[in-house]
Amino acid sequence: MAGKRHLGPDWRHNQQLAWLQARASAPPFKKDYVMNRFSRALVLLALPSLAWAQPFPLIDTHAHFESLPYKDFAASEKSALAAMAQWNIGMSLLMPPPRATLDPKTNYDIEELLPAIKANPGRLAALGGAGSLTIMLHNTSPEAVNDAVRQSFRQRAMEIIALGAVGFGEIPVQHLSLPNMGPRHAYENVPADHPLLMLLADIAAENDVPIDIHFDMVPNDMPLPPPLKSPPNPPKLQGNLPAFERLLAHNPKTRIVWAHVGFEPIRTRGPDIVRQLLTAHPNLYMSFRLGRTGPHPSMAMAADGKLKPEWMALLQAFPDRFMLGSDSFYAGAGVSRGATSEGMDNLRGLVDQLPPELGRQLARDNAIRVYRLKVTTGQ
């Protein structure tokens, strides 16, 4: 084609003429074709953000099957899956509630959760120990812990791991009795540096699983705050934070998930002390329960459902340390206590207020990493 230049202006004119004629006679879609390609490119470009805009499923790291006044776990399973569908929860971690005394009728541990877990792989997983280890813990004084006690405690803990537990929980340290959780809601208390808790921390680290802990923190001795009742709670609460920090520091490999941040009746876990403890203890994690909102600093959300700036700052400062934990008690007729519809809405509301990446970490990625979860894609 090098010779074209010598073909003179007419040739170029004819070529152009031919092109124009061809253009004129070409089917009209060409322009549309271009527009079409352009809009398709636009859609392709927008797809990721569209996908990102899709509300992704949450992971609820703290829920229970209700056993009061009786157990019907097949019905609890149904209502759990129904609630998960309603609130777009992809996976729930179930655990026995914190027990210090054995009541054969209502007590349970991981064994009784296994049928539901096996029937819903990638959607339900279990923690164990709150119906067995905690009874040993709360009925053995620190001084009475000897090799025989350690051995039977370790044996039970290893049974729980062998049954497929993704962690130990819900382990009560100080667990205040709350009027709105029913007349049988117990007061339970052991020192956080109890030798059996230190042992559990080591067993959890050895098996690379976390411990979900219920800990009503008392920074300094204080009177029992209203509306809590005494009895069953003591009229005066003793400072218990130094012992908790000894437990956290005992084994840096132990991942400890401190449940119920963001709404706690004792109201001692405000943003300042949360920042202090997360800074001091890299193995400490927290899960949000947001059953109530309000002005008190320990409540992460204001009454209008807005996350308070000091809590937003905490989440931004520690993006890999927070998870969601509704504390739902699933019974045959739905959630019987622990979480409210408002509380479930607040969990999604919290996620939606965050920058997408941070929201995703809070709602699922941190849980997957901390609990080593195998989630089915899209869940």
Q: Which is nearer to Zn ion, 170 or 193 (CB)?
A: 170
Q: Which helix (H) or strand (E) holds 198?
A: helix 195-206
Residue number of the CB closest to Zn ion reads 327
Binding mask 216-245 for Zn ion (x = CB under 5 A): ------------------------------
Residue 34: which residues within 8 A CB-CB, separation 6 or more? none
Taking CB under 5 A as the binding criterion, the range among 68-76, 108-116, 137-145, 319-327 that sits at the site for Zn ion is 319-327
User: In whole angstroms, how close is the CB of 169 to Zn ion at the nearest point?
Assistant: 8
Return the residues of window 90-119 that contact Zn ion according to CB under 5 A. Answer: none
Q: Which is nearer to Zn ion, 120 or 287 (CB)?
A: 287
Q: Which is nearer to Zn ion, 56 or 60 (CB)?
A: 60
User: In whole angstroms, how close is the CB of 99 to Zn ion at the nearest point?
Assistant: 11
Q: Based on the shown chain and the rule CB under 5 A, indicate whether residue 264 belongs to the binding site for Zn ion.
A: no
User: In whole angstroms, how close is the CB of 170 to Zn ion at the nearest point?
Assistant: 5
Amino acid at 369: R
Taking CB under 5 A as the binding criterion, the range among 168-176, 223-231, 286-294, 350-358 that sits at the site for Zn ion is 168-176
Taking CB under 5 A as the binding criterion, the range among 68-76, 99-107, 294-302, 324-332 that sits at the site for Zn ion is 324-332
Q: Of residues 60, 66, 109, 170, which one binds Zn ion by CB under 5 A?
A: 170
Taking CB under 5 A as the binding criterion, the range among 13-21, 141-149, 167-175, 369-377 that sits at the site for Zn ion is 167-175
Q: Which is nearer to Zn ion, 193 or 327 (CB)?
A: 327
| Per rule CB under 5 A, count of chain residues that contact Zn ion | 2
Q: Which is nearer to Zn ion, 188 or 327 (CB)?
A: 327
C-alpha distances in angstroms, 68 versus 116, 269, 327? 18, 29, 15
Cα separation, 63 vs 275, whole angstroms: 25
Q: Based on the shown chain and the rule CB under 5 A, indicate whether residue 77 belongs to the binding site for Zn ion.
A: no
Q: Which is nearer to Zn ion, 100 or 145 (CB)?
A: 100
Beta strands in 66-219 (DSSP E): 89-94, 124-126, 128-129, 168-172, 174-175, 188-189, 211-214
Could you tell me which of 265, 245, 65 has the C-alpha nearest to residue 173?
245
Beta strands in the chain (DSSP E): 58-65, 89-94, 124-126, 128-129, 168-172, 174-175, 188-189, 211-214, 222-223, 236-237, 256-261, 284-288, 322-324, 328-331, 334-337
User: In whole angstroms, how close is the CB of 186 to Zn ion at the nearest point?
Assistant: 13
Query: What are φ and ψ of residue 169, in 5° steps?
Result: 175, 170
Identify the three-state secondary structure at position 337: strand
User: In whole angstroms, how close is the CB of 93 to Zn ion at the nearest point?
Assistant: 11
Q: Based on the shown chain and the rule CB under 5 A, indicate whether residue 327 belongs to the binding site for Zn ion.
A: yes
User: In whole angstroms, how close is the CB of 58 to Zn ion at the nearest point?
Assistant: 17
In angstroms, how far is CA 188 from the centroid of its own chain?
Answer: 24
DSSP strand pairing (168-172 vs 128-129): parallel
User: In whole angstroms, how close is the CB of 267 to Zn ion at the nearest point?
Assistant: 18
Cα separation, 238 vs 173, whole angstroms: 13
Q: Which is nearer to Zn ion, 99 or 281 (CB)?
A: 99
Q: Which is nearer to Zn ion, 77 or 327 (CB)?
A: 327
Taking CB under 5 A as the binding criterion, the range among 12-20, 49-57, 129-137, 321-329 that sits at the site for Zn ion is 321-329
Q: Which is nearer to Zn ion, 340 or 353 (CB)?
A: 340
Identify the three-state secondary structure at position 186: coil
Q: Count of alpha carbons within 13 Å of 103, Cβ hemisphere only? A: 17
Q: Which is nearer to Zn ion, 95 or 197 (CB)?
A: 95
Identify the three-state secondary structure at position 93: strand
Return the residues of window 331-360 that contact Zn ion according to CB under 5 A. Answer: none
C-alpha distances in angstroms, 302 versus 286, 297, 305? 19, 9, 5
Cα separation, 365 vs 362, whole angstroms: 7
Q: Where along the sequence are the contacts to Zn ion (CB under 5 A)?
A: 170, 327
